[in-house]
Amino acid sequence: MGKAFGAVAGVGAVGALYAMKRSWDPLPSVKAAGFTEVDTSTCVENKLVVEKWRGKPIFILKKTAEMVSSQGEAEAARDVIIDGAHFTVNIGLCTHLGCIPAYREDRKDFLCACHGGEFNASGIDTKLPPPSPLIIPPFNVKGTTLVLGEEGEVYKKMKESGVTA
């Protein structure tokens, strides 16, 4: 009887330890939450794609050739080049009070309906009250894949040069 009780207690202890270890391990969803991979090969020019990264909306906009040729230096400095194409990659939260701006394909700009703020297609603020451009999230480019959450060399240079906050 004593031996049987000991064996049952032993199995119970192992089970409890296993359960405790499982509760300490991060959930698979938490492990994967740091990075979001986006296949940009299916992106269409002037059509906004909205992805989610760490709970935030991420705007991904493939520019047309006309948008690229007519833009200035400040806009070009924010471009993410993927497989020869120019993209805007921004956190889709207005820098005024955090609303999500809408992309207007016909005007090729963003309107924040909360207080009327506007950003151009590169995410640069063009009409108050937003005080600054949309933020560029940490990114890396691997082939045609955009990896959100990974600080690649291009992103680091943008950050160092003050192109993004």
- Any idea which residue has 């194409």 for tokens? 85
How distant, in Å, are the alpha carbons of 4, 26, 62 from that of 157?
67, 32, 21
**Any contact of residue 117 with ligand FES (CB under 6 A)?**
yes
Number of Cβ within a 10 Å radius of residue 94 = 23
Residue 121, amino acid = A
**Any contact of residue 96 with ligand FES (CB under 6 A)?**
yes
Helical (H) or strand (E) element with 60: strand 56-62
User: What token pair was written down for 95?
Assistant: 């820098």
Q: Which residues in 36-95 contact ligand FES (CB under 6 A)? A: 94
DSSP three-state, residue 152: coil
Least distance (Å) from ligand FES to the CB of residue 114?
Answer: 4
**Any contact of residue 99 with ligand FES (CB under 6 A)?**
yes
Distance CA 27, CA 74 (A): 41
HEC string of 5-24 equals HHHHHHHHHHHHHHHHHHHH
- Any idea which residue has 């698979």 for tokens? 28
**Any contact of residue 111 with ligand FES (CB under 6 A)?**
no
Nearer to ligand FES, 119 or 155 (CB): 119
**Any contact of residue 121 with ligand FES (CB under 6 A)?**
no
Scanning 24-32, 47-55, 108-116, 153-161 for contacts with ligand FES by CB under 6 A, the matching segment is 108-116
Q: Which of 92, 130, 137, 138 binds ligand FES (CB under 6 A)?
A: 130
**Any contact of residue 97 with ligand FES (CB under 6 A)?**
yes
**Any contact of residue 135 with ligand FES (CB under 6 A)?**
no
User: What token pair was written down for 99?
Assistant: 């609303």
Nearer to ligand FES, 38 or 94 (CB): 94
**Any contact of residue 133 with ligand FES (CB under 6 A)?**
no
Instruction: Note the residues at the interface with ligand FES (CB under 6 A).
Output: 94, 96-97, 99, 112, 114-115, 117, 129-130
